[in-house]
């Protein structure tokens, strides 16, 4: 796996939202394709991770593979945690595509199955987080 992919995966395990944000350019775009959410800039990346950790206890990402081609990096792994208030934890495959500018991430796109997370968590398919 490329070094930036290892750093990206490791940053999700530290719990310090600044670790992930430091990997991104100031004008970065972080997109969660399953939820159709977009966050801009390193502050947006920090906001995304903070919100994720508030909604999902024991949030983890375990990298299982990846590769690099030009300015693109693909990171494969398992996204897991326990949605606050859900009957059960979940663990689902996730793929993230990173686009680089130099040694920093200019954009990232997360791809996973939202329905699978809800099903494994014991939540209905139309569930939305409280307050959304």
Q: What is the DSSP letter of 89?
A: -
- Binned average pLDDT, 10 residues per bin, the chain of 132 residues: 90 84 95 94 92 92 94 96 96 97 95 96 92 66
Q: Quick one: pLDDT at residue 97? A: 97
C-alpha to C-alpha distance for 50 and 15, rounded to whole angstroms: 9
User: What pTM value is reported for the model?
Assistant: 0.90
Q: Quick one: pLDDT at residue 40? A: 97
Q: Quick one: pLDDT at residue 63? A: 93
Strands (E), 15-132: 24-32, 37-40, 56-69, 72-83, 90-101, 104-111
Q: What is the DSSP letter of 87?
A: S
C-alpha to C-alpha distance for 68 and 2, rounded to whole angstroms: 6
Q: Quick one: pLDDT at residue 1? A: 81
CA 14, chain centre distance (Å) = 13
Give the neighbor-by-neighbor strand order of the sheet with 37-40: 37-40, 24-32, 104-111, 90-101, 72-83, 56-69
């Amino acid at each position: 796996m490329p070094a930036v992919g290892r750093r990206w995966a490791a940053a999700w395990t530290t719990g310090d939202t600044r670790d992930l944000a430091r990997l991104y350019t100031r004008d970065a775009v972080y997109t969660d394709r399953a939820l159709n959410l977009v966050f801009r800039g390193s502050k947006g990346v920090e906001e995304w991770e903070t919100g994720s950790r508030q909604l999902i206890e024991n949030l983890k990402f375990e990298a299982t593979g990846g590769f690099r081609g030009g300015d693109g990096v693909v990171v494969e792994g398992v996204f897991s945690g326990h949605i606050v208030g859900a009957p059960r934890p979940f663990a689902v495959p996730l793929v993230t595509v990173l686009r680089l500018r130099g040694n920093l991430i200019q954009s990232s796109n997360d791809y996973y199955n939202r329905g699978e997370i809800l099903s494994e968590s014991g939540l209905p398919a139309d569930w939305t987080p409280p307050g959304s």
